[in-house]
Amino acid sequence: MAESKIVDAKVIVACPARNFVTLKITTSDGLYGLGDGTLNGRELAVAAYLRDHVAPCLIGRDAERIEDTWQYLYRGAYWRRGPVTMAAIAAVDVALWDLKAKRAGMPLYQLLGGRCREGVTVYAHANGHSLDGLLDSVAHHIELGYKAIRVQAAVPGVPDVYGVPHGSQPYEPADSSLPREETWSTPKYMRFAPEMMEAVRARFGFDLALLHDAHHRLTPIEAAALGKSLEGYRLFWLEDATPAENQEAFRLIRQHTTTPLAVGEVFNSIFDCQRLISEQLIDYIRTSVVHAGGITHLRRIASFAGLYGVRTGCHGPTDLSPIGMGAALHFDLSIPNFGIQEHMPHAPLTDEFFPHAYTYANGMMHPGEAPGHGVEIDEAAAEKFPYKRAYLPVCRLEDGTMHNW
Ligand code: KDG
Ligand code: MG
């Protein structure tokens, strides 16, 4: 086989409808691979980490040595973990998997062991400024073929709730050049959540897989109470009920409710979920290819989770680029303990900038059969879409206390 040494590692930061960080690794045999390193609201930190600290170490390395390169960047850096570091490692890792699959002339999922299922079941986002608006949105997504839907609605008396569009644009949280302030009231939310689920089940029945994201707003005992109050609505999962820095907090929730629990979109390492998984405190691990160190590390997390009956539910918002989405779909198709994949469609401009082989039909996605992960970038157009500073909101309680967003 011809030698495949890395000759270039280029960071592309562009804003085709929103900001994305892409790494393009080129090898001596003229191939290239693409990786996503987007970290919402902190994009330039990853770009600098890649450009200034990682790229110089990649030049001359054997592109085929994916695991060794992962270990080199993780162990070799001394300063381990953290979202910036792990998103940068993920970008390198996915670009190298893309390259290896292109060299092999096969879609990445084949290289990962072949498919374990026909396609990847995805869940959509339905949201509304009111209960009626939410129900219309659920009906719309059912028409589009989705069998699993996440529901979020404005809580009466609470302005700007998480998961509900700000204004009339499609929901996109990083929407302002300085962090917008949202307000939060746990008691109002706790009263409203069962009412919302009741309305959805009353209109659409129990065949629909129903998901909900509490977005880290509750204390462990509040989360336990919410889980208990929603049991009759048979959720597919309750997501991020409480922050998981303290993994033991989930034991308390578990002791009180059988509502399935999902967590992990902000995790970047297997150590962030070691106890959650080994003590079976959760049902779905939501780590993403992009924020948890790439396919190499995500496979390790999934294998570990499989030992304990925990299934995957990869994060898939618009703030992961189509490259991140494509990579996730190959991963999802190839692992035994896949649960579900989040699908938040990108803006048309984003899809144009990242032409891709993956497809959606009838509630399922498929990564396609193109060699590699099947996602390209219109590099020539990057200059037309310069980086635009955009922050996620912050959150305060009604008395002004800073809270978790
Ligand atoms: O960047 C933050 C978003 O990715 C996050 O708020 C989305 O919670 C989210 C989800 O479940 O998709
Ligand atoms: Mg979430």
Check residue 175 and give its pLDDT.
85
Distance of CA 212 from the midpoint of ligand 2 (Å) = 9
State which ligand 1 atom lies nearest to the alpha carbon of 125.
12
What percent of the chain clears pLDDT 90, i.e. is strictly above it?
96
For ligand 1, atom 6: residue with the closest CA:
173
Distance of CA 206 from the midpoint of ligand 1 (Å) = 26
Whose CA is closest to 370, among 333, 332, 326? 326
> What value does the mean pLDDT take over residues 102-113?
98
Euclidean distance between CA atoms 21 and 6, whole angstroms: 19
Choice among 172-186, 238-252, 335-349 with the minimum mean pLDDT: 172-186
Q: Which pTM was predicted?
A: 0.97
Quick one: pLDDT band at residue 14, thresholds 50, 70, 90?
very high
> What value does the mean pLDDT take over residues 216-241?
98
Q: Is the pLDDT of residue 29 over 70?
A: yes
> What value does the mean pLDDT take over residues 370-384?
98
Quick one: pLDDT band at residue 1, thresholds 50, 70, 90?
low
Q: Is the pLDDT of residue 232 over 80?
A: yes
For ligand 1, atom 3: residue with the closest CA:
317
Per-residue pLDDT reduced to its tens digit, 295-322? 999 999 999 999 999 999 999 999 999 9
Check residue 345 and give its pLDDT.
97
Q: Is the pLDDT of residue 382 over 90?
A: yes
Q: Which amino acid is at 380?
A: A
**Helix/strand/coil for 312:** strand
Per-residue pLDDT reduced to its tens digit, 390-402? 999 999 999 999 9
Check residue 161 and give its pLDDT.
87
Euclidean distance between CA atoms 402 and 187, whole angstroms: 17
State which ligand 1 atom lies nearest to the alpha carbon of 150.
11
Q: Which domains, from first to last, does the chain contain?
A: 6-107 (3.30.390.10), 111-372 (3.20.20.120)
Please classify residue 25 by burial: count the beta carbons closer than 10 Å to its beta carbon, then call 0-12 exposed, 13-18 middle and 19+ buried: buried
Residues with CB under 6 A from ligand 1: 40, 173, 213, 215, 265, 315, 317, 319, 342, 392
Check residue 149 and give its pLDDT.
98
Distance of CA 188 from the midpoint of ligand 2 (Å) = 20
Per-residue pLDDT reduced to its tens digit, 168-220? 778 888 989 999 999 999 999 999 999 999 999 999 999 999 999 999 999 99
Ligand located closest to 316 CA: 1
Euclidean distance between CA atoms 129 and 397, whole angstroms: 20
Euclidean distance between CA atoms 265 and 92, whole angstroms: 20
Please classify residue 178 by burial: count the beta carbons closer than 10 Å to its beta carbon, then call 0-12 exposed, 13-18 middle and 19+ buried: exposed
For ligand 1, atom 2: residue with the closest CA:
40
Q: Is the pLDDT of residue 130 over 90?
A: yes
Whose CA is closest to 290, among 319, 261, 312, 310? 319
Beta strand 261-263 with 284-285 is parallel
Q: Is the pLDDT of residue 253 over 80?
A: yes
Euclidean distance between CA atoms 358 and 301, whole angstroms: 24
Q: Is the pLDDT of residue 75 over 80?
A: yes
Q: What is the mean pLDDT of the chain?
A: 97
Q: Is the pLDDT of residue 281 over 80?
A: yes
Q: Is the pLDDT of residue 2 over 70?
A: no
The residues annotated as belonging to the active site are 162, 215
| Residue to probe by mutation, ligand 1, list 40, 42, 240, 265, most atoms within 8 Å of CB | 265
What secondary structure letter does DSSP report for 389? -
For ligand 1, atom 8: residue with the closest CA:
215
Please give the distance of CA 100 from its chain centroid, rounded to a whole number.
Answer: 24
